[in-house]
Amino acid sequence: MPKKTHPAIKNKLSKSAHPPDPPYWQATRGPLYCLVFLFPLVAIYELGALLLRPEAWPEQRLVAPSLIQHLVAWFGTDAVWVPGVALVLTLLIWQFWSRAPWRVRWWAFPLMVVESLVLTVPLFVLGELLQQTTGGPAFESLRVQMVLALGAGVYEELVFRLYLISGLMGLLTAACRVPKRAATVSAVVLAALIFAACHFNPIGSEVFTWPLFLMLTAAGGYLSIIFVLRGLGVATGCHAAFNLLSLIVSTG
């Protein structure tokens, strides 16, 4: 006759088999939450770029997707769909590597949207203080501008926050033996400067001015801090929301 497991022991074993979900602030920084949150933005941008490509070739107007395409071109392909695939694969590989559970709490995503919108306020204040905005290419079609604004928010965060900050932190801590906190601060500052510099010729399309450089550096630093504290999903949501809201305000 099999032995009966004591209820207290059974309950303890059940809890150990299914550990409690991490709190919202921690869970939403993870790769699975970022992937689910960002996938609709990637899909909308890629579909918009595909439909509008005969009109403006929007993927060629953005710095971050172009950098990704140039990088993977070394491996024999420069297809326009590469940046979107790179984002999805990066987050999937991160999810597998982290061995985090494959479950999400769906109520967290509306909160991430609200958080992203709230975090755009300092960017608008910053722009007003410096009285400087990025002009960007002047397209006749508002649809093209909206596609570009969304794509810039998504892929600039992928390149200049996830890839660049993570790479710099790894280099500084592993190769240079810099303490983690100092490495984080250094990575945030360097990433902000590189982010700003890449917007100007010959990489970007902006004409260099010191007010614009300072504004982009400050914005890059702010988004870098959001990335470090709140993860890729919220940082991208904030960046994309700011771009779209700025476009609506400027054309309204």
> Where are the domains positioned within the chain?
23-97+108-251
Whether 68 contacts 155, CB under 8 Å? yes
pLDDT of 67 reads: 78
Of 36-40, 47-51, 128-132, 172-176, the one with minimum mean pLDDT is 128-132
pLDDT tens for residues 161-188?
Answer: 999 999 999 999 998 899 999 999 999 9
| Highest mean pLDDT, choosing among 57-66, 104-113, 130-139 | 104-113
Q: What average pLDDT does the segment 146-151 reach?
A: 91
**% of the chain residues with pLDDT over 90:** 61
The angle, 0 to 180 degrees and rounded to 10, between the axes of the packed helices 210-251 and 108-118 is 120
pLDDT at 13 over 50: no
The whole-number pLDDT of residue 172 equals 95
pTM: 0.88
When pLDDT is averaged across residues 206-222 and rounded to a whole number, the result is 93
Rounded Cα distance between 31 and 64, Å, is 20
pLDDT at 74: 62
- Residue range 67-94: average pLDDT? 79
Indicate left, alpha or beta for 177 from its phi (over 0: left) and psi (-120 to 50: alpha): left
pLDDT at position 53 over 80 = no
